[in-house]
Structure 1
């Protein structure tokens, strides 16, 4: 089935917001455009299942959500990349525009829900989606763009002109400029693979307290640390595999606001 022209589609936002330079990135065999009202039939949800649990809610419910996003003007900017030969979606992503009081009523962009069909992974489509959403954000006047990605993908960030801001991160090893933490996290000190968890994972203390103990605790003392979060030692060790961690605490909201006001 050949690609359906944009003129025959009901799109989530004005396609003119996507710069021509971005369209050139995807080449001649693919097409990039805003999400359309009938993209349920082009496999939108199937691609999102690569990212997280995404049950098939049916065409009617999907369309209702599309219309709800479209009604919130100048806020949601979902895009898709399609195969021109099959008219099927192969990559997706969304920009959410946040309206602020700081920076003279400034705006900040949040890049969300990047997913690529496994059959075409490894071709840089995820980076193309991010580049497109970043360009849209800049065109809309956003002073900053927030992106959340896995630690394994952080090596790709310099190509996109991005770098982790550890001082303002949520404490997650996979965080980029995130301010969403609500409790303490621990992050691995060494690069050695944890016996039961992915090396890119940061573990909330609330879930890991039964596994951790102070780093300098006696080697014969196997009791896990069970103190209150406010009394957690700075350096910790996994009881199961002796992996070392350090404690990372969220920056207080007052300090976050003060830092943001200086940007």
Structure 2
């Protein structure tokens, strides 16, 4: 799947998640990122509908490989409404993943750019994300800078 042909890369378009993307390997792609158990069709439909109610405040985007019909990249952004900075907004990018067989095609950058542009269009004064040390260089190439330290407390 990897190629240096720029025309091939242009064939990969970012779009919003669709209900049919579960059958195109969306959950399996997320399993390359983190712990993601199988999700039934009903669970997927329920969560998809729930997220749809958020409108443009929560967007999941995907890239589908037109040749295989599989989802090969994804990411999400949600918009947090603040009181600070004159009741401004912050975009939070999450769950950026590119299929291991499609890396090197700049698909991750396309996803991050799409999500960042969406946050900007929603009036966010900044967009933030957490990443692993291994991913730091990638996000720096996308224009991000290390700002603070992440802390987490897991409940499961």
Compute the TM-score of the two structures, normalised by the length of structure 2.
Answer: 0.86
Given that 1:108 and 1:143 are in contact with CA atoms closer than 8 Å, whether structure 2 keeps it comes out as yes
Residue in 1 that maps onto 2:26? 44
Q: Segments of 4+ in structure 1 off by > 3 A?
A: none
Residue in 2 that maps onto 1:169? 149
- Per-residue CA deviation, residues 52-78 of structure 1 (Å, 9 max, x unaligned), is 111112111111100001112332100
Residue in 2 that maps onto 1:154? 136
| Counterpart Cα distance in 2 of 1:149 and 1:45 | 20
SS at match of 1:114: strand
1:97 to 2:91 alignment: no
Select the residue among 12, 24, 27 that pairs with 2:10. 27
Q: CA RMSD in A?
A: 1.7
Task: State the structure with more CA Rg.
Answer: 1
| Counterpart Cα distance in 2 of 1:54 and 1:140 | 29
| Counterpart Cα distance in 2 of 1:163 and 1:133 | 16
Residue in 2 that maps onto 1:228? none
Residue in 2 that maps onto 1:108? 90
| Counterpart Cα distance in 2 of 1:147 and 1:119 | 24
Alignment of 1:63-102 (within 5 A): 63-102=45-84
| Counterpart Cα distance in 1 of 2:140 and 2:22 | 34
| Counterpart Cα distance in 1 of 2:67 and 2:37 | 27
SS at match of 2:13: strand
| Counterpart Cα distance in 2 of 1:57 and 1:157 | 29
SS at match of 2:55: coil
SS at match of 1:149: coil
Select the residue among 129, 133, 140 that pairs with 2:115. 133
Cα offset for 1:111?
A: 0.4
- Per-residue CA deviation, residues 195-232 of structure 1 (Å, 9 max, x unaligned), is xxxxxxxxxxxxxxxxxxxxxxxxxxxxxxxxxxxxxx
SS at match of 2:104: coil
| Counterpart Cα distance in 1 of 2:110 and 2:19 | 22
RCO higher in structure (CA 8 A, sep ≥6): 2
Q: Which runs of 5+ in 1 are unaligned?
A: 1-23, 171-179, 183-263
Cα offset for 1:181?
A: 4.9
Select the residue among 115, 119, 122 that pairs with 2:104. 122
Residue in 2 that maps onto 1:259? none
Cα offset for 1:131?
A: 1.3
